[in-house]
Amino acid sequence: MIPHTETTRGKNMFRYVSRLISGLSEPPSRRNVDWFCFFTNDAKNSLYSDAMKARIKSDAYNYLQNIFETAKADNVMDRTYYTDVNAYLPEDLLVKMDIASMANSLEARSPFLDQKVMEFSATLPSSWKLRGLRPNISLRKPSRVSCRTR
């Protein structure tokens, strides 16, 4: 494991900022997909053999863009939330968590994925979810949010 030094942090920040800037000219649906996908379609085409290309029937970019664009939401934040809930969580993050926890004989829970919590968070205005580049504003200032169930 490589320790995080000032040099590696600087490289990571440069990579993050350059990725952010490179996507600004793209429409929101494409920017969202660029954050999901590590390899572009061009990169995959140059890496995959013809046999591999023939076996892969789907295109992650089109798949994720379609979910983002068909979301019944009025703003980019809620469309991103919808895409995360319908693709990124069940098809990526939760699968990885399940594999990692089972490999270590652990039982993992994701408390913020409780149905009532998810439904409640979906109703929060975007300004409570993100302020500038700071996410999870509603978690940082709990006095502004009341979550009572009855």
Domain edges within the chain: 23-108, 109-150
- pTM for this prediction: 0.69
* Percent of the chain with pLDDT strictly greater than 90: 21
- Per-residue model confidence (pLDDT) at position 141: 57
Residue with the two structure tokens 């994720």: 64
CA distance 12 to 25: 22
Under a CB-based contact definition with an 8 Å cutoff, are residues 36 and 88 in contact? yes
Q: Smallest Cα–Cα separation from 108: which of 116, 98, 96?
A: 98
Check whether 56 has a pLDDT greater than 80: yes
pLDDT: which is higher, 63 or 8 = 63
Burial class (CB in 10 A: 0-12, 13-18, 19+), 68: buried
pLDDT in tens, 68-112: 999 998 888 899 989 999 998 998 889 999 999 999 999 888 878
pLDDT in tens, 13-23: 887 777 778 77
CA distance 3 to 55: 39
Q: What 8-state DSSP symbol labels residue 88? A: I
